[in-house]
A and B are shown apart, each in its own frame.
Chain A
Amino acid sequence: MEMTRKDFLKAVAIAGMTTTFSSAAPFSVLAQQGKNAAGADVDLVALMGGEPGQMFEKGIEVLGGMKRFVDRGAKVVIKPNIGWDKKPELAANTNPELIVAMINAAKDCGAKEIVVFDNTCDNWRKCYENSGIEEAAKKAGAIVMPANEERHYREVSLPKAKVLKKTQIHQAILDCDVWFNVPVLKNHGGAKMTIAMKNLMGIVRDRQAFHRLGLDQAIADIGTYEKPACLNVVDAYRAMKSNGPRGRNEADVVTPKCLFMSTDPVAVDVAAIRTFNQFQKMPLENVRYVAMAEELNLGVADLSKLNVERVRM
């Protein structure tokens, strides 16, 4: 993978355009997306070395600005990982600073309402409070919705799915115009890694069904929901390298200070896993749902086929 930036751009110039438009519905907006230095469309932005909010602002600029995703008057949902009753320093939940930057960006585009929620693993009140997300998001002007009751969800069918043929999805997702998937990069005991695709288990009511049906395939399947996230923003400012997704203590946390953004959930997961692999061994093949998702045409796992923009701050 030793490739200079120049080499890469050359490769992109040849290969990029042919593959970009091959995917289905999720990429219908690609025509308007941001361009890289060579004038090619950017599929994925990887940033390093900045603060969470800063990196998002830079990244979204590279992708063509928030306006590309959020129209005036739009109903927007930002779906972080708030799964655990842990403070931000323990990297179990998405960084609140990133959420705030995203809310502000959406507000600047004239979003009518911005909703933040997650179906938590620990007690939802404790997660919302101790993650720091509830307070920060409310202060930034978002609505923080509960997701702990059946009545917050409606059933949808997933015709393209292999095992998860139907499931209940949170009404905020069902009723919004666009939504952002904002996971945090973590190791995971069952699924090996939890990043963008795994974060979708938090828009679903019955997570146990995933485990019963086969976790990896169900994770891939939920990605076939007809209204995918308009953008996946992977928070790797802090990451959980071991004992995830809950983690035990500070020793599980590393601080790579990275952020990955892409409309392609498979590509963004692969990029994050590759970075993760540098400080904790994690062969891509071990994360079984990546291949399964690719088989369902949810995205591209081979990053060399994509226009990747790398930004160091």
Chain B
Amino acid sequence: MQNSPRPVRRLFRAATFRFLRWTRVALAAAVFVVLTLFFLDFAGFVPSQAVWLAKIQLIPSLLAGSFAVFAALVLSTLLFGRLYCSIVCPLGIFQDVAAFLARRFASVSYFFQKRKFAKAQRAEQAAANASDADDSKSKTPVKPPRKPSRDYRYRRNPLVFRAVFLALAVASIPLGLPFLALLEPYGLFGRIAVAVFNPVYSFGNNALEAVAKTFENYTFYRVDASPATWASFGVGVASFLILLVFARRYGRLYCNSICPVGTILGAISRFSFFKIRFDAEKCVGCGLCAKACKSSCVDVEKRRVDASRCVVCFDCLTVCRKDALSFVRNRKVELAPSAAQADANAPQTAAKSNVRPLDALLSSRESERVRREIASFDRGKRDFIALGVAATTVAVARSVFGADETPVSETAKSTESAPPAAPIEAAEPSALDKPADYGQTPFKREHPIAPPGAVSFEHFNKRCVGCWLCVSKCPSKVLKPATLEYGLRGFMQPRVVFSLEHFCNFDCVVCGEVCPAGAILPLKMEEKHLTQMGRVVFIKENCVVYARNENCGACSEHCPTQAVKMVPYGDPEVGLTIPETNVDLCVGCGACESICPALPYLAIYIDGNPVQLKAKPVPKEEVKEVKLDDFGF
């Protein structure tokens, strides 16, 4: 009995595996809860350091040029495999949570279906007993409910899919397509969090507010639960539903066929130091591990785990009753045991477990073929993937960092280098009951407005993964996912949109602070005050002062730099003032645009800068000491 370990050792192993698994679950849960709450929190109760959970995401860190983070992630994958996908990636954890909940829900509903079925059966029985002769009322027989399957099963590695999606993601950057951002998991998670979780969270908050208010408690305040834009809402909800179905039925299918990060890390994890391995001598081929594997990567027939898809969740370790799986140092590719060995073990194990080991069923010729297949398959694939990874890294690095970028402070004064972008919406006349005698001149914005610190459309569009963390965190709610305003490559990337009471707060730098991809650079307050994301345009014919000879000044009143200043206008006896603009001072915050009362077309608006410029600092003035000794009346 040299094969069966001593009982104490077995217990210890089992405890270790359980500990590993629960550690994984606990870490994943912590990351998921904190990051999700960080996305949703509008009151600032989640510490701002939580942003690091976003900044250690693989693609964002790569785009931000945080090579230390990227290197650490590659190193951890080389050591332990795709732990990243289990405990760092919020979308990976989201799928686990979704699958867990969906399965729970399925078993609960199965319980009730069963009861309903039993009741129906009893009723049928009673009816049959009451009138056995009455055949005319032949009822349709009640179908027994199907027990929901909780099992996953092994699937082939969809190499072609993975290669195509990876190529699509990588090629997107030089080709100006949005696929990296759309396929990349962190951005995908963010869009789900903002489009789906955020409204739920806001509704919950508003319900709390309503309850608290009846007790004269004003701790809570209502927030706007409506989506940023309907298009972005659709994108988020669609992503949510698709991933929900994927996760419920196929576990980590997205991670192992679509996700570019999964493919890259999968390639690396083939060489990882620790791996899940079969002990072919102990395995009886019962297949419990394969059924538990959400990555569908445990091939019981071949007694091997596809490391490129394994996310080291340790689920298989804890279900194996034969100690046949372990998380051990990588060795040379282990071949399946010879048929002879398996045969020798077969009688004992089979007798114990009532399951016949698979190898025992294979002829020696068959098992030889399987072994050869494994060996050759692995080598070929390994080379292919290694090549892919190298190419990917180079391509990403070159296209992202090779381009001619200039920081905000050094940008040219002109806006000539504007990339072609779809012209922005012509101003929609706003509907108001009363027709006005001013605001009749329509205007058209030339460019969208990128968030302050975006440097340029070029810089911004290349890096943004569309996670919408800035959209969610912007206290003024001026960031909205674009559709085609930046062109195709900026699909779902945030742009600045002004509306009544919504303009960029002069003393706010939140979007740059939270951006994990370096698409919006973090600005110091002094830098923000001089960052010109757009420029003011004044249309005199639409102005209330011009058209009606009345004072207004709402634009100037709101202007933080007095780039819009009120100057004397018309008859000095009347004492009117009219706006005068100084674009050099303008930062493009949109305060003027947001408050301009002209209808149906505004008299003042901001046009975006394709390359963000440096505004002139406001002229220095002496602080005047006033010492009054008289009231003046």
Give residues of chain A (229-262) contacting chain B, Cβ–Cβ below 8 Å: 241, 243-246, 248-258
Chain A residues with CB under 8 Å of B132's CB are: none
A258 and B631 contact, CB distance less than 8 A = yes
- Could you jot down 19 A-B contacts, CB within 8 Å? A85-B507, A145-B218, A188-B557, A190-B553, A190-B554, A190-B556, A190-B557, A208-B554, A214-B550, A216-B550, A216-B551, A246-B558, A248-B561, A249-B618, A249-B621, A250-B623, A275-B633, A278-B630, A303-B633
Nearest residue, chain A, Cβ from B545: A190
DSSP class of A's interface residues: helix, strand, loop or mixed? mixed
In the complex, which of the residues A122, A191, A217 contacts B553, with contact meaning CB atoms closer than 8 Å? A191
A123 and B475 contact, CB distance less than 8 A = yes
In the complex, which of the residues A146, A214, A275 contacts B628, with contact meaning CB atoms closer than 8 Å? A275
Tell whether B5 is near chain A: CB-to-CB under 8 Å: no
Nearest residue, chain B, Cβ from A250: B623
Tell whether B544 is near chain A: CB-to-CB under 8 Å: yes
Instruction: Count A-side interface residues using an 8 Å CB cutoff.
Output: 61
Q: In the complex, A125 Cα to B508 Cα: how many Å?
A: 13
Q: In the complex, A144 Cα to B633 Cα: how many Å?
A: 36
Tell whether B565 is near chain A: CB-to-CB under 8 Å: yes
Tell whether B626 is near chain A: CB-to-CB under 8 Å: yes
Tell whether B107 is near chain A: CB-to-CB under 8 Å: no
Q: In the complex, A32 Cα to B57 Cα: how many Å?
A: 71
Chain A residues with CB under 8 Å of B552's CB are: 190, 211, 215
In the complex, which of the residues A126, A191, A258, A277 contacts B508, with contact meaning CB atoms closer than 8 Å? A126
Tell whether B577 is near chain A: CB-to-CB under 8 Å: yes
Give residues of chain B (508-564) contacting chain A, Cβ–Cβ below 8 Å: 508, 544, 548, 550-554, 556-562
In the complex, which of the residues B599, B623, B633 contacts A212, with contact meaning CB atoms closer than 8 Å? B599
Chain B residues with CB under 8 Å of A278's CB are: 628, 630, 632
Nearest residue, chain A, Cβ from B553: A190
Scan A264-282; emit 1 where CB is below 8 A from any B CB, else 0: 0000001100111111000
Instruction: Count B-side interface residues using an 8 Å CB cutoff.
Output: 47
Q: In the complex, A215 Cα to B436 Cα: how many Å?
A: 16
Tell whether B420 is near chain A: CB-to-CB under 8 Å: no
Q: In the complex, A274 Cα to B633 Cα: how many Å?
A: 6
B553 and A215 contact, CB distance less than 8 A = yes
In the complex, which of the residues A121, A130, A254, A310 contacts B624, with contact meaning CB atoms closer than 8 Å? A254
Query: 5 shortest A-B CB distances, which residue pairs?
Result: A190-B553, A251-B621, A189-B556, A214-B550, A274-B633
A189 and B599 contact, CB distance less than 8 A = no
In the complex, which of the residues B556, B577, B624 contacts A251, with contact meaning CB atoms closer than 8 Å? B624
Chain B residues with CB under 8 Å of A215's CB are: 550-553
Q: In the complex, A209 Cα to B550 Cα: how many Å?
A: 13
Tell whether A24 is near chain B: CB-to-CB under 8 Å: no
Chain B residues with CB under 8 Å of A286's CB are: 575
B630 and A251 contact, CB distance less than 8 A = no
Smallest beta-carbon distance B567→chain A, Å: 10
Chain A residues with CB under 8 Å of B560's CB are: 246, 248
A246 and B507 contact, CB distance less than 8 A = no
Q: In the complex, A276 Cα to B630 Cα: how many Å?
A: 11
Tell whether A288 is near chain B: CB-to-CB under 8 Å: yes
Known: A1-B633, A48-B628, A275-B633. A212 touches B544 (CB 8 A): yes
A275 and B631 contact, CB distance less than 8 A = yes
Nearest residue, chain A, Cβ from B500: A208
Q: In the complex, A101 Cα to B582 Cα: how many Å?
A: 42
Tell whether A136 is near chain B: CB-to-CB under 8 Å: no
Smallest beta-carbon distance B355→chain A, Å: 63
Q: In the complex, A244 Cα to B558 Cα: how many Å?
A: 9
Tell whether A285 is near chain B: CB-to-CB under 8 Å: yes
Q: In the complex, A279 Cα to B626 Cα: how many Å?
A: 7
Tell whether B122 is near chain A: CB-to-CB under 8 Å: no
A208 and B628 contact, CB distance less than 8 A = no
Tell whether A178 is near chain B: CB-to-CB under 8 Å: no
Tell whether B505 is near chain A: CB-to-CB under 8 Å: yes
A248 and B562 contact, CB distance less than 8 A = yes
Tell whether B221 is near chain A: CB-to-CB under 8 Å: yes
14 A-B pairs besides A189-B553, A241-B624, A276-B632 with CB distance below 8 A are A121-B557, A123-B476, A126-B507, A143-B216, A146-B222, A188-B553, A189-B577, A207-B595, A209-B597, A211-B544, A215-B551, A248-B562, A249-B621, A274-B632
Most A Cβ at <10 Å: residue of B550, B556, B595, B620 = B550
Known: A122-B505, A123-B475. A251 touches B623 (CB 8 A): yes
Chain B residues with CB under 8 Å of A271's CB are: 631, 633
Chain A residues with CB under 8 Å of B505's CB are: 85, 122-123, 126
Tell whether B404 is near chain A: CB-to-CB under 8 Å: no
Scan B602-633; emit 1 where CB is below 8 A from any A CB, else 0: 00000000000000001011111110101111
Chain B residues with CB under 8 Å of A164's CB are: none
B633 and A285 contact, CB distance less than 8 A = no
Q: In the complex, A277 Cα to B221 Cα: how many Å?
A: 41
Chain B residues with CB under 8 Å of A256's CB are: 626, 628
A277 and B632 contact, CB distance less than 8 A = yes
Smallest beta-carbon distance B556→chain A, Å: 4
Scan A165-207; emit 1 where CB is below 8 A from any B CB, else 0: 0000000000000000000000011111000000000000001
In the complex, which of the residues B507, B595, B618 contacts A208, with contact meaning CB atoms closer than 8 Å? B595
Tell whether A222 is near chain B: CB-to-CB under 8 Å: no
Known: A126-B508, A248-B562, A248-B618. A211 touches B548 (CB 8 A): no
Q: In the complex, A308 Cα to B632 Cα: how many Å?
A: 13
Smallest beta-carbon distance B24→chain A, Å: 38
In the complex, which of the residues A189, A191, A251 contacts B565, with contact meaning CB atoms closer than 8 Å? A189
Tell whether B566 is near chain A: CB-to-CB under 8 Å: yes
Known: A85-B507, A208-B554. A146 touches B632 (CB 8 A): no
A211 and B628 contact, CB distance less than 8 A = no
Tell whether A149 is near chain B: CB-to-CB under 8 Å: yes
A214 and B475 contact, CB distance less than 8 A = no
Q: In the complex, A85 Cα to B501 Cα: how many Å?
A: 13
Chain B residues with CB under 8 Å of A211's CB are: 544, 552-554, 595, 597
Tell whether A46 is near chain B: CB-to-CB under 8 Å: yes
In the complex, which of the residues B221, B507, B623 contacts A253, with contact meaning CB atoms closer than 8 Å? B623
Smallest beta-carbon distance A192→chain B, Å: 8
Q: In the complex, A310 Cα to B629 Cα: how many Å?
A: 12
Known: A123-B505, A214-B551. A308 touches B475 (CB 8 A): no
Nearest residue, chain B, Cβ from A256: B628
Most B Cβ at <10 Å: residue of A146, A189, A246, A278 = A189
Most B Cβ at <10 Å: residue of A212, A249, A275 = A212
Q: In the complex, A252 Cα to B625 Cα: how many Å?
A: 11
Nearest residue, chain A, Cβ from B475: A123
Give residues of chain B (126-169) contacting chain A, Cβ–Cβ below 8 Å: none
B597 and A310 contact, CB distance less than 8 A = no
Chain B residues with CB under 8 Å of A303's CB are: 633
A212 and B624 contact, CB distance less than 8 A = no
Nearest residue, chain B, Cβ from A253: B623
Smallest beta-carbon distance B189→chain A, Å: 26
Known: A211-B597, A215-B550, A278-B628. A125 touches B475 (CB 8 A): yes
B436 and A212 contact, CB distance less than 8 A = yes
Known: A126-B508, A190-B577, A216-B551. A258 touches B628 (CB 8 A): yes
Chain A residues with CB under 8 Å of B595's CB are: 121, 207-208, 211
Known: A274-B631, A279-B624. A246 touches B551 (CB 8 A): no
Q: In the complex, A47 Cα to B154 Cα: how many Å?
A: 85
B628 and A126 contact, CB distance less than 8 A = no
A288 and B575 contact, CB distance less than 8 A = yes
Most B Cβ at <10 Å: residue of A144, A188, A277 = A188
Smallest beta-carbon distance B513→chain A, Å: 15
Smallest beta-carbon distance B218→chain A, Å: 6
Smallest beta-carbon distance B619→chain A, Å: 9
